[in-house]
Amino acid sequence: MKKFFTFVLVAMAAMAVNAKQVTFTFNDEAALKSYGITVPDTLGTDLSGTTFTVDGITFSCAKVNKTDTRIWNSKGNYSLRTYKDNTITFTSAGDNIKGLQVFSTQGSFAELSNGMMTCDAKEVTITCTATAYVNSIVVYVNESPVVT
């Protein structure tokens, strides 16, 4: 019995080592520059066709609507703005993505409930259903987001 509990503890520790959260921050100038994004002096920088990778997770977005997903500068306050029907995709080079959590001041995405979703895939796409101003997105790898 002791061997069984030891095995369970080792297995749980191994899973915890592979679990990680990757945060994409869109309301911080230094973070945006670290992604290779040109920070706009005013208004926006279009991101359609742009990809960047943080800790093995790649961000990309597609223009479906007439307006590109963009980084917006409103008097020094930055956000990712995306519009109805546009998509954001996260792709993992390693372990599966288990969930997403979007922190925004307005807007919504079809796949999210209360700003969160669970999944189990190498690639996850979310679709904007109303204009969204996103401050950050957390991608959960090998762990699901905790619903509070």
- pLDDT tens sequence across 128-140: 999 999 999 999 9
Q: How far is CA 65 from CA 41, 48, 138, in A?
A: 24, 11, 24
Higher pLDDT, 18 or 49: 49
CA 31 to chain centre: 14
Q: How many residues does the chain have?
A: 148
Residue 136 CB contacts under 8 Å (≥ 6 apart), including other chains: 23, 24, 25, 26, 27, 102, 103
Phi, psi of 138 (to 5 degrees): -105, 130
Q: What is the mean pLDDT of residues 5-14?
A: 37
Closest alpha carbon to 132 in 97, 111, 103 = 103
Which pLDDT band holds residue 143 (cuts at 50, 70, 90)? confident
Which range is least confidently modeled, 2-11, 18-27, 104-113?
2-11
- pLDDT tens sequence across 50-95: 899 999 999 999 888 788 999 999 999 999 999 999 999 999 999 9
DSSP class of residue 49? T
Residue 123 CB contacts under 8 Å (≥ 6 apart), including other chains: 89, 90, 91, 92, 97
Which pLDDT band holds residue 11 (cuts at 50, 70, 90)? very low
- For residue 144, what pLDDT is reported? 80
pTM (two decimals):
0.85
Q: Are 53 and 59 in contact (CB under 8 A)?
A: yes
Q: How many CB atoms lie under 10 A from the CB of residue 39?
A: 14
Q: Are 70 and 45 in contact (CB under 8 A)?
A: yes
DSSP class of residue 37? P
**Furthest C-alpha separation in the chain:** 65
